[in-house]
Amino acid sequence: MSAASMAALGLEPEEFADSLRPLGMPRYRGEQIFRALHQTYAASWEAIAALPLEDRQRLADAYSVHWPEVAQRFGSTDGTVRYLLRLQDGAEVEAVYLPDEVFDGEGASVRRRTTFCISSQVGCAVNCQFCLTATLGLTRSLTAAEIVGQVLTLLREHDLRPGKGLDRVNLVFMGMGEPFLNYEATVRAIRILTRPEGAGLAPRRITVSTSGIVDKIRRWGEEPFPRGRPRLAISLNASSDGQRQQLMPLHRGQGGMAGLFEAVRAFPLASREYITFEYVLLAGVNDQMADADRVLALLRGVRAKVNLIAWNMGPDLPFATPEQNHVLAFQRRLMDGGMSTYIRRPRGRDIYAACGQLKRTSLVGIPNVS
């Protein structure tokens, strides 16, 4: 790999080491540079004071270091922050910081965690009918360096680094885009972000969500992640073929429910691993008790859990959010059927930061905390 073929944030330590030789620099500089970029959040070669001046100049001539620009920050009353990030070519994506995100399960079980929700593409091509991001269409996929840059930007924004709170950070690929339609860049970014010489994020605290790209689900199950495979989440959102085809037009092209669940049932799960199924509840559309019964039938024999998401509003989208008692009844039906089921509390709805709301929205009344 040549130095000019990839931005610095998209390189692993060994790749730095190999490509430094033509620059007349020793191999050990590769790990030193990687640590500086990913642990001290150096945003330029000039900022790495430990390197000799001549080495910094050589690196500046050979590699680019481009962090996303924080164009705007929108703060929610619940502590969520939505970031509008501008990339080097002017394209914009969004990432979300969720402090102490809460999931409610059976009884009094509550789990707390700090979560970053990041994007894999500029816009999205999947066209889920209930999602605001879908109305943008797809501009392009992000590079691995741009994905890594989002994470490092949020870590720096919230002063999280190795030894200072980073161990409780969860990362979810649930922002703009379909990660499995940008598969190679997503995998590379995860390998970089889980390197112990860098951010050192735990693979078990990373979740990649797909709308159901069947061939990539199969490939994900075979992917050789050196430090362990991140968790897989699948956006189900329907209980029948006809319903899912209407809500998620890519469904038929992926082989319908039969094709999806053939891949799911063949997925190689470790002893304590499971697949998460996300289910957006749309009032009067997919939230009936008959839907819950069909979901149970689909998931029978699958080691799974279900996250229920009451639909988050979007302008000009023809759906409604179900009442809370209806959401609870749906959860109870699944739990009575033996399925671990959680309700994801909405976070950042007031700033258009909740699930399905990311559309680079800047509205009067939303607090800009820049």
Q: Between β-strands 92-104 and 275-281, what pairing exists: parallel, antiparallel or unpaired?
A: unpaired
Contact 65, 33 (CB under 8 A): no
* Residue among 204, 210, 266, 278 nearest 238 (CA): 278
Q: How far apart are CA 19 and CA 217, in angstroms?
A: 33
Q: Which tokens sit at 21?
A: 């030789």
* Residue among 154, 88, 152, 157 nearest 122 (CA): 88
Bridge partners of 95, per DSSP, are 83
Contact 76, 350 (CB under 8 A): yes
Q: How far apart are CA 270 and CA 114, in angstroms?
A: 25
Q: How far apart are the first and last CA of the chain?
A: 39
Catalytically annotated residues: 94, 355
